[in-house]
Structure 1
Amino acid sequence: MRLNTSMPTSFPLLHHADAAAHLSGDPTMRELIAHNGDLPVLAPTPGPFGTLIRSVNGQQLSVKAAASIHARLLDRLGTLDARALLQTPGDELRAVGLSWAKVRTVKAIAGAEQAGTVDFVHIATLPDEAVIAALLPLPGIGRWTAEMFLMFALARSDVFSLGDLALRQGLARLYPDMPADEVLAGWTPYRTLAARYLWADNHRVRAGGEPVG
């Protein structure tokens, strides 16, 4: 599927003050923001292709292990681009630490980029669901990975992944008597920042912080 690039060329960047003010209308979220403070501002990555490759490489790994594999991959390739990935034998990619499933996925991403079936130069011009629809046909890319790409590569403001276990657990812990759809509707159009506060608070509680609520 070749992407339609007759869309607006960019999406507005998230204004954190506006987002935090909107989310603070929810008393529970207001408390989360107070407990966890300001979060770093997300900005669109200059290289969405490389960001997706790195995201796939880091799936189900610790941050430290993922960074080590990424460093070895860069050392082997010299540059993280589609041509280099396609020209590198699978067993050499496996040797830097990628599983065979991830080798298949990164090769498929590189092939799609080179063929133009996924246009990473213009993918940032597409609406969220169009980005997801473009990525889902790739092997090893599910909706969760596509949603993380929207959040952290394209810095989209209104993404919340119900496929993320930590986010579902956060909703259940903080809003036990409210349907998830109702909670999420109240956070729109800033669900990305809400998700990041749920992750941050989960990390804080696991580190021994006092639970909210």
Structure 2
Amino acid sequence: MNTCPGPSEIAAARAALAAVDPRLAQAHAQTPVFAWRARTGGFEGLLRMIVEQQVSVASAAAIWGRVRDGLGKVTAARVLALDIETLRGFGLSGQKARYGHEIARAQDEGRIDFDHMAGLDDAAAVAALTAIKGVGRWTAETWLMFCDGRTDLFPGGDVALQEAMRWVDRAEVRPNEKQAYARADIWQPHRGIAAHLLWGWYGGVRRGEIALEEPLP
């Protein structure tokens, strides 16, 4: 696992982002200090991301708790030792249970090597992860950010980020995935910090803690 950026690195990157893209300055000014979203990596981290997708935060926590308790130890071997119906008994959909088997099989067969992911550049790492059935680009990019500490990835398919980008640019329509990736190019080599900043800003606005200001002249 790569080392996640600390407070001073995040602060420096935020300042650099606001300087290179004045439109991002409002988000920077309004968003409090935040920490990197570090999570457990390896097989466990990827399985958890699959388990928690497309459900509420509360449901995700409850289902993951049942999966973890049911497996005893979250390993590829333990997942493969259980059939789909048993995994569904932990609260997983049939599709997620099958994807869990796919990830476990990929590790068991050596098609993915979590211990040596750091040796791959970002593009190669995304390609290795998305080669596993059930692992899409968003999942691969967020796993590499949260679980492997990579700081220059930007999950352009994330709807919250797209909406925050719409606010940044005072646009009527939020960008699509392709447009979001292109828009984020200016934020290199701190695209991961930009994503965290926009997530923090978006969450603050949605919770009513941050008020969007009038467009700058």
- What TM-score do the two structures reach when normalised by structure 2? 0.85
In 2: Cα distance, 1:163 partner to 1:85 partner: 29
- Contact 2:36-2:146 at 8 Å conserved across structures: no
For residues 96-135 of structure 1, the aligned pairs below 5 Å read 96-135=90-129
Q: Give structure 2 stretches of 5+ with no counterpart.
A: none
1:29 aligns to what? 24
Q: 1:112 to 1:67 in 2, by over 3 A?
A: same
CA change 1:181–1:47 in 2 (3 A) is closer
> 1:42: Cα distance to partner?
4.5
Task: Give the 5 Å matches for 1:1-213.
Answer: 13-14=4-5, 15-25=9-19, 26-43=21-38, 45=39, 47-176=41-170, 180=180, 183-208=183-208, 209-212=210-213, 213=215
3-state SS of paired residue (2:139)? helix
Deviates more, 1:148-157 or 1:32-41: 32-41
Distance 1:143 1:181 in 2: 12
Task: Give the root-mean-square deviation of aligned CA atoms.
Answer: 2.1
Shift in alpha-carbon separation, 1:88–1:181, aligned structure 2, 3 A? closer
Query: 2-side partners of 1:46 and 1:180: how far apart?
Result: 27
In the TM superposition, residue 30 of structure 1 has moved relative to its aligned partner by 2.7
Q: In 1, are the aligned partners of 2:164 and 2:202 still within 8 Å (CA)?
A: yes
**AA paired with 1:18?**
A
Distance 1:205 1:108, change over 3 A: same
Distance 1:73 1:162 in 2: 29
C-alpha distance 135-36 of structure 1, shift in aligned 2 (>3 A): same
Deviation at 1:110, TM superposition (A): 0.4
CA distance in 1, matches of 2:36, 2:166: 26
The CA distance in 2 between the partners of 1:183 and 1:55, in whole Å, is 26
Match of 1:122, SS state, is helix
Change (3 A) 1:195 1:42: same
Write the letter of the residue equivalent to 2:24: M
Amino acid at match of 1:32: A
Report if aligned partners of 1:162, 1:168 keep a CA contact under 8 Å in 2. Answer: yes
What residue is the counterpart of 1:3 in the other structure?
Answer: none
* TM-superposed deviation, 1:97: 0.7
| Equivalences, count | 203
User: Equivalents in 2 of 1:139, 1:120: separation in Å?
Assistant: 16
> What residue ranges of structure 1 are gaps of 5+ in the alignment?
1-9
SS at match of 1:38: coil
Q: 1:203 to 1:150 in 2, by over 3 A?
A: same
Q: 2:162 & 2:45 partners in 1: Cα distance?
A: 25
| Alpha-carbon contact 1:57-1:102 (below 8 Å) kept | yes
Aligned sequence identity (%): 36
Task: Please say if residues 11 and 125 of structure 1, whose CA atoms lie closer than 8 Å, have aligned partners that are also in contact.
Answer: no
Task: Name the CA shift for 1:64/1:181 in 2 (closer, same or farther; >3 Å).
Answer: closer
